[in-house]
Structure 1
Amino acid sequence: MRVFTKATALVATSALLLGVSACGQSASTGESADAKQTVTVWAWEPTVKKAVQGFESKHPNITVNVVNAGSSNDEYTALSNALTAGKGAPDLVQLDFNAVPQFAISDGLEELSQYGFSKKMLADYTKGAQSGISVNNGIYGVPIGGGPMALFYNKEIFDKAGVTEAPKTWDDYYEAAKKIHALGPDYYITNESGSDAGMALSLIWQAGGHPFSVKGKDITINLTSDPGVKHYVDLWQKLIDEKLIDTKTQGWTDDWYRGLGNGHIASLAIGGWMPITLQTSSAEASGKFRAAPLPVWSDSDTASAENGGGALSVVKGSAHAAAAYEFAKYVGYGEGEKTLTDNGIVPDLTRTLSSDEYLNQPKEYFGGQEINKVLAQSAKNVTSEFQFLPYQVYGGSIYPDNISTAFTDPGSKTLAQGLADWQSALVKYGEEQGYTVTTK
């Protein structure tokens, strides 16, 4: 997941809620997929560009221009500004699953069944991916990679601490955290500073939580008494109070990569896209890491959740919408999907997840472990749907303002109080945007 800055997301949200559409012709007057044309794609995932050559060889009249408009927060701002201005928007855009509803509801995306994305095709994806692109019974993106969660842990550090197997439950995780911290004051089972709403929501999802319910303009928010939220709060407050996690190191910083490399941050419960980042940014730990299922909340539980993952969505009003959809379909449903999977993307198609070719791949960084088996099982265990707010990008932007001190200065605020404050802010903003918001 990526951290949103407040200023960035505020720009994105204010533009989105105007309900404007992209520049160019509407789908009904746009060019057919057979016409000679250039499709512009905004995507930060570098493997999307690697699929272009294969697509263009099959569609010689279509040129695909992939542009990195910045990581998700930067791209969302640029897209929103283009939608507002009525010019400069791409034909196709990469979106995190949690951002799809906001752009779809604000009329910024084309519904894809008109181009041939059928319910039968949708059923070929994991439940997490299906949920990620489905908004108000419409389909607003072609999934290009998932984020089924797993526990990536440094086996060398775990063994040194006397944790001889990966924690199976969150109670086991808590006990492991105590043993790892006993190695020294700068050894922690993980880091968390309250900067990433997506991480918290993923763990609440896995705990069976449903803090958001959206039905048209009616929204219910329950970040105070939802059972899944309570599971999350009880565990992480205990870890905070007992100083068992690193609350100072921010994710996606040099210090974070260094801590993962030297073992001072001994594990991450995170989306299945993380291995590529570990290999490239924390190479020092090569051979030491392993992957295990996400710890569960009871011995009989098998639930997992999505953390990250996303889709390629056709921007509303694109003059090349049909061709843009064809490229998205090639990348996420056709032959191009193999290109992404071969380069480390976790597939969303169940046929790929269950294939021997995908499952039986030893990974040197993980000591020769076939970690895709763990990721595939996690994807299957994402059993319940999870709704995001129609202004989730904004919600993520204000999350640190309300939560971070619960981690970094726990004497000033508890995690429960932080979530209650976040709920109040989300309610206020939703009402200002014309939603009817109730709380539980």
Structure 2
Amino acid sequence: MARKFFGTDGIRGETNSGNMTAATAMRVAQAAGAHFRRGDHRHRVVIGKDTRLSGYMMESALVAGFTSVGMDVIQTGPLPTPAIAMLTREMRADLGVMISASHNPYRDNGIKLFGPDGFKLSDEVELEIERGIESEPQLAAASEIGRARRIEDARGRYIHALKQSISTETRFDGLKVVVDCANGAAYQVAPSAIWELGAEVITLGVTPNGTNINDGVGSTSLDAIKAKVVEEGADVGIALDGDADRLIVIDEKGNAVDGDQIMGLIAIRMAEKGVLRGGGVVATVMSNLGLERYLADKGLTLERTKVGDRYVLERMKAGGFNIGGEQSGHMILLDHATTGDGTVAALRVLSSLVHFRKPASEVLHVFDPVPQLLKNVRFAGGTPLEDVDVKSVIADAEAELAGKGRLVIRPSGTEPVIRVMAEGDDGAQVEAVVDRICDAVKAVG
């Protein structure tokens, strides 16, 4: 069955258009609620959101849908995605919902669902819910309609969990940290947690107004935090995205540090402490070859998956790994969270700065990345990757890079674009290879 609603990370789109309407949200809630109503206990769902204007509308629609099928609703207000996953487990809920479009602009919104274990739903469960969305809802009897309540201590619970993710002896006294929350879901909790651990905190992106989420701030717009770190003479900058499941770090010189370097740092420290499981790290095909070589030198593996944190998580669970992530900044530390958590990863980075007592530019330069180039090629239609000439150019490129680099070519899942990425020790060779493949795709597309 082809997916109509769910993508690689829940349901997402422009609000009041397509699948992202109040009417659809209510049907999603009714279908998901019906699916998770099992047993004779009183069923409940935890609903959180980021700071988008449309969050009010989507939240109200979801509450109506869940209560109409007999589920009680617990509303937390704005909280990061990983906080909702945590609270779903902690409150023994049957289901968790996060209303967010992550790093997208405010016009978009999304619905992410978590099972009672706090993990995102499997493909099979999402397909079951899709079938329910297009079926008549199983409405509860009048006496069984659910209730809704808002809890006031959700932020405090999550802040406590964040601090529990590092050693109780660790303090951040003496560190000056710029924290950019993208005017998103972590605008209260991330600065508070870091301040409570002793750091001097300078904030950016903590004045959400419904339409400024990810607007010139956050992990996908780094100019503001780079400038702020240098201007303030800060030790480090922490940049989160709209729902705070992603982290990019800025060193004291104003340089960005991506997820590969952060994963490398955290993994090695865990290995030294004897708490790394799985024998290495899980990342996607986009992670730099330099990370793979660095881990191999330490006797650790880098296992690669398709792009998407859900695929990273699936491999982590199957292989017994406790650290994984993406170059883009999703960090999954399974000992402390069931999904990517930018703030948990940030606390690990700050702990490393305290431990090594060296500048961030030294601590976070774990390996030398090899030259890597990604280009996107738009095509008009058809399947250019099936063309004989394109296949021939790709085969030649793979042979040329053999033993010296890597080639990753994949179609976008959301637009008519082919993504061409190559990396290797020779930057000029990498650029030439990418350009040849792009030209071949353009010729047939």
TM-score normalised to structure 2 length: 0.28
- Give the number of the structure whose alpha-carbon radius of gyration is greater: 2
Q: Answer 1 or 2: which has greater strand percent.
A: 2
Higher relative contact order at CA 8 Å, sep ≥6: structure 1 or structure 2?
Answer: 1
